[in-house]
Chains A and B, each alone.
Chain A
Amino acid sequence: AQSVTQPDIHITVSEGASLELRCNYSYGATPYLFWYVQSPGQGLQLLLKYFSGDTLVQGIKGFEAEFKRSQSSFNLRKPSVHWSDAAEYFCAVGEGGADGLTFGKGTHLIIQP
């Protein structure tokens, strides 16, 4: 069965600093990989996704993620965070069939002034 691990429950970053959120997955084949963001009191919004091809994926709000098959990772990055990036971030994996996505437990991002 597929699984997703987000090792960091909380991360605190200063405004303007760079950010990297970690995601590791367990899956036999090449999975479909996603990053979603959940702002306080809101639903989830897709930041970016990877299906195939270029392993560096650009998303919305200045985020990018890199798929590394050898490390089974799909880490999310942003070169300079803004206070509005404070939110919960979820990594998810899917296999392309009818079953829904498997989500990680989330990483809570706190931005320090």
Chain B
Amino acid sequence: EAQVTQNPRYLITVTGKKLTVTCSQNMNHEYMSWYRQDPGLGLRQIYYSMNVEVTDKGDVPEGYKVSRKEKRNFPLILESPSPNQTSLYFCASSLSRPKDTQYFGPGTRLTVL
């Protein structure tokens, strides 16, 4: 089944404790992206990747890192999480461009205390 998977689905952590949210897709998509969703703000893009070893900042990249060492994986790294990063995070992938149909993962709900 074609899908985007994220792990973990739920995470509660404390300020400053490094964490990684994994994202994997099995559709051989070149384009992958991370969004955060906050009440009243909709979805905002954090980082995106056009292909392996090619990443770039989205609209809200501060406090986040990403890497794209393999085509299928695009982990989101929070080196020193803060409470304002409490949010619902979505990974998405598409064939080659954002205008292609994007497939979204189920989301990761992160709480930073």
Q: How many residues on the A side are at the interface (Cβ–Cβ under 8 A)?
A: 23
- A/B pair count, beta carbons within 8 Å: 60
Interface status of A32 (Cβ within 8 A of chain B): yes
Could you tell me the distance between the alpha carbons of A45 and B106 in the complex, rounded to whole angstroms?
Answer: 10
Chain B contact patch, size range: 20 to 34
Give A42-59 as 1s and 0s: 1 = Cβ < 8 Å from B's Cβ atoms.
Answer: 111110010100000000
The reply to whether the CB of A101 lies closer than 8 angstroms to some CB of chain B is yes
A89-106 contacts to B, CB under 8 A, are: 90, 92, 94, 96-101, 103-106
A–B pairs, 24, beta carbons within 8 Å: A32-B99, A42-B106, A42-B107, A43-B4, A43-B106, A43-B107, A44-B90, A45-B104, A46-B101, A90-B43, A94-B98, A94-B99, A96-B99, A98-B98, A99-B45, A99-B58, A99-B98, A100-B45, A100-B98, A101-B45, A101-B102, A103-B42, A103-B44, A105-B42
B-binding residues in A (CB < 8 A): 32, 36, 41-46, 49, 51, 90, 92, 94, 96-101, 103-106
